[in-house]
Amino acid sequence: MVEPTAPEDPWRDDFDRTVWAWRAGDREAGARACERVLARPGVPEAVAFRVRANATWYAPLLTEWLPRCALTPLVPPVRPGWTRFNPGLTVLGDGRVVAAVRSSNYRLTPDGGYLVDDPEGVVRTEQHLVTLNADLGPVDARLLAGPADRVVTDFPVLGYEDARLFVSGADLFALCTVRDREPRGLAQMVLLALDPAGAVLGEVVVAGPEPGRHEKNWAPFALSAVGTGRRDGGEKVGVVYGWDPLVLGELHLGGGRMVVRSRRGGTRLGPVVRGGSPGVPVADGVLFVVHEVAWMPDGTRRYPHRFVLLDPDGSRIRRSRPFFFLARGIEFAAGLVEVGGDLLVSFGVADESAWIARIPTADVLARLEPVGYSPSMVPTQDSTVRTGRTAGEWDGRRR
């Protein structure tokens, strides 16, 4: 139970409003109250933890927020009983759109656990490289075959997970997570050089800047888009390693080495923002899709997403409101490209299905707002109806 500690707490009214607004049916007021609490400096983590959960109820589904959005399922052939989810996405030099669709032998249970279909209890993942037509239907699909000399450990999680596809020069690459290269199952990033026909031409495990840390969700982007002002020449790409603080690095494609180049605190994006998609250059900078992690009172997780725009020198950040693609639960966007004035966002739902959302780029850019807190964000009068309940009385209930 989270109760405001004193009447003078500056975030108290908005904390309570995150509950009153729901009771009053005022979703916009509740959403704004959540944003103000989470943007205000000095809010206790226990309060922010609860507000992140409350905010998921106010976050719209994508088609509610962006009515011109169109959703297309990705259904390449996979092994019987296996899932399709968390697809990556890129555009090749000849204009073909290519997706990397993850397929695995487990399913999520209602309580957030894992049900693994394997006699040895091993979680197995495969990647399917899928060429798409103009309507985003599959033209062909190839199982991504790893190098024959690849050495793995006995840790019971195998395969390339959550591929972020990107093109540098004329070459196709992917950044994936692996857990089968280190005996304890430490999550590591691996850089894959790919043949569009479906072969892994080479791979290298890329060390992060903090030894012993689980590494996931690095977001690649062209170096000319953010922070350097120079072309990458096909040899290096940028990486968003972290969002708050904003940590930008350079990934050397030849040797698979990542070097941190800048670190800036105080972005106000929040400590639960995670990687997401590769970056796409747009008129005002580079655009990403990121996700946040919200823990609900029943112990389950929800992953709302946002669009985030970095300006060319990485000093100014704009973002969208949080949203869900199809359902308020676990969703995961791993791909973003722009084709013909539309953004294509590839995402998975509940580690079970794969989708692409097509959205007019202008619709997204028009809905971005500066990140941060200022006193002008506070409403001049209460736009919600008090119900007589305190925020603490909601805790533990399911909406």
Residues paired with residue 36 on neighbouring β-strands, in sequence order: none
What pLDDT does 234 receive?
55
Q: What is the CATH number of the domain that holds 338?
A: 2.115.10.20
Rg (CA), the chain: 21
Does residue 194 have a pLDDT over 60?
yes
- For the chain, the domain total comes to 1
C-alpha distances (whole Å) from 385 to each of 16, 24, 30, 189, 382 are 11, 6, 11, 49, 8
Give the tens place of pLDDT for each residue, 35-94.
Answer: 999 999 889 999 999 999 999 999 999 999 999 999 999 999 999 999 999 999 999 999
What pLDDT does 227 receive?
54
Region of poorest pLDDT, from 56-60, 109-113, 289-293: 109-113
Average pLDDT, the chain: 88
Residue 398's pLDDT band (cuts 50, 70, 90): very low
Residue 22 maps to a domain:
no
pLDDT > 70 fraction of the chain, expressed in percent and rounded: 89
Comparing 116 with 316, the larger pLDDT belongs to: 116
Residue 283 maps to a domain:
yes
Residue 297 maps to a domain:
yes
CA distance 128 to 150: 18
CA distance 381 to 399: 26
Give the tens place of pLDDT for each residue, 349-375.
Answer: 999 999 999 999 999 999 999 986 544
- Cα dihedral 12, 367, 218, 260, rounded to 10, equals -80
Pairing assessment for the beta strands 123-132 and 157-158 based on DSSP bridges: parallel
Domain region containing 200: 62-370
Comparing 180 with 397, the larger pLDDT belongs to: 180
Average pLDDT over residues 115-120: 97
How many other CB atoms are found less than 10 A from the CB of residue 46? Answer: 12
Residue 149 maps to a domain:
yes
Residue 56 maps to a domain:
no
pTM to 2 decimal places: 0.90
Residue 395 maps to a domain:
no
What strand order describes the sheet that includes 188-195?
A: 161-168, 171-178, 188-195, 199-206
Residue 148 maps to a domain:
yes
Element (H, E) at 22: helix 12-24
Average pLDDT over residues 284-307: 96
